[in-house]
Copies of this chain bind each other. A is one copy, B any other.
Amino acid sequence: MQSFTEENYLKIIYHLSVNNDQAVQTNAIAEKMQTKAASVTDMIKKLADKQLVDYKKYQGVHLTQTGRQAAINIVRKHRLWEVFLVEKLNFKWDEVHDIAEELEHINSAELVERLDEFLSFPKNDPHGDPIPDKHGKFDAVPFTKLSKLKTGEKGLIMGVSEHSSAFLKHLEKLGLTLGKTLTLTTITDFDGSVEIIVEDKKISVTREVAKHILIRI
């Protein structure tokens, strides 16, 4: 069993290594953990002792199979709790992350399985992210960024790649929530911002925002 801190490190290493088979760097972990590189080195050694990461000095870390399983299990819990908070307790999608950060550390396999069942085995969390099943399996559908769409293309909003409350609230205000259909009408040369139509309304979205909206064409 891992401490909360160890679990947080594992999860962060996991997120930094998904879509990227390079070793995860000490500094990258330090930034996400909001701590110092020296602390990360200490923890990496501990995780390596426990065989949760492979580590060579100055070369960064890779999760081991065991470490990856542990990380995915935490991600599974995080996302299931987020679904619970939104679907059952009527929280908004921008309000659930911090609470799920705590709930993900609750330690009971039975609880997770029953929660999954209670929620009717959801496939995605409120932000469109896939929920691993009890064996850690999930299909990572590769979506297109709104910023990559071409003029005239139609798409369905499937997820976001930025989870800050500010960003999510902004999307909410614009009506750009999961499941909405949009059509890209114009790409502005000047700043890369895009004009789209959602539910018959014309909306302009900055390139920065468009980069974090995930689309299925």
Contact = CB atoms under 8 A, between A and B. Distances in A.
A90 B111 contact: no
A106 B102 contact: yes
Interface of chain A, main secondary structure? helix
Contacts of A91: 110, 114
Contacts of A103: 106
A107 interface: yes
Nearest to A107: B102
A98 to B, nearest CB: 8
A115 B89 contact: yes
A118 interface: yes
A135 interface: no
A107 B98 CA distance: 10
B108 A90 contact: no
Contacts of A99: 106, 108, 111
B89 A114 contact: yes
A148 B152 CA distance: 81
A44 to B, nearest CB: 25
Interface of A: 85, 88-91, 95, 98-99, 102-103, 106-108, 110-111, 114-115, 118
Given A89-B114, A90-B114, 10 more contacts: A88-B118, A89-B111, A89-B115, A91-B110, A95-B110, A99-B106, A99-B108, A99-B111, A103-B106, A106-B106
